[in-house]
Amino acid sequence: MFNLILFGPPGSGKGTQSEKIIEKYGLKHLSTGDILRSEIARQTPLGMEAKKLMDKGQLVPDEVVIGMISSSIEANTQARGFLFDGFPRTVAQAEALDKLLKLKGTQINAMISLLVTEEELMKRLLNRGLTSGRSDDSNEEVIKNRIAEYKSKTAVVADYYKKFDKFFEVKGEGSIDEIFNAICKEIEKEMDA
């Protein structure tokens, strides 16, 4: 298996690039944000609880997202590999992911991080809010909270993978194809490694 984490702050382009990566490499896309939004759309108890936090720009508890990822891994035993998007967002989530993958006899091959300036993030998210229908994109305060959560809890997850020499950075500004090509270069280096 080849298992990849696409990493970066809210608005860094993970969703856009994920679509292209899974198509090219045949990976199964696991986005905790997408799974949570589908729980909200189906008005499940989990979705209703998560929505309260998401609308404030706060993270959903670790045990909730870890449970979701664990079920998704179980449900896709035939996958050639996984692309994790929006997960892990805390060190506890990273540790849990390692354990889950180890039980399946596999591991994370690489974390690729998209580098985007804060001004650009704010611009992209407010712009996405005009069309996405996502309540967490339409309010500047909520976006600021998401970026603050990223800085205080998520940015350190990069250090976790640096320790294992699995961390790679790609410039997240430029055209979608330029960024995609830079990501593919990193992926293929790791696939050949």
| Nearest one of 159, 83, 115 to 12, comparing CA atoms | 115
In this complex, which beta carbon is closest to ligand ADP, that of residue 134 or of residue 166?
Answer: 134
Length of the chain: 193
Q: How far apart, in whole angstroms, are the C-alpha atoms of residue 187 and residue 166?
A: 11
CB of 169: closest distance to ligand ADP in angstroms? 17
The CA distances from residue 20 to 9, 15, 49, 88, 162, in Å, are 19, 9, 31, 20, 25
Q: Which of 2, 7 has the CB closer to ligand ADP?
A: 7
The residue whose Cβ lies closest to ligand ADP is 33
Q: In the complex, what is the shortest distance from the CB of residue 70 to ligand ADP, in angstroms, rounded to a whole number? A: 13
The catalytic residues are: 14, 89, 128, 134, 146
Nearer to ligand ADP, 59 or 111 (CB): 59
DSSP strand E in 81-177: where?
Answer: 82-85, 110-115, 167-171
**Smallest distance from ligand ADP to CB 164, Å:** 19
Q: What is the distance between the alpha carbons of residues 75 and 26, in angstroms, rounded to a whole number?
A: 16
Residues of the shown chain interacting with ligand ADP in the complex, contacts defined by CB under 6 A: 10-11, 32-33, 36, 53-54, 57-60, 65, 86-87, 89, 93, 136, 146
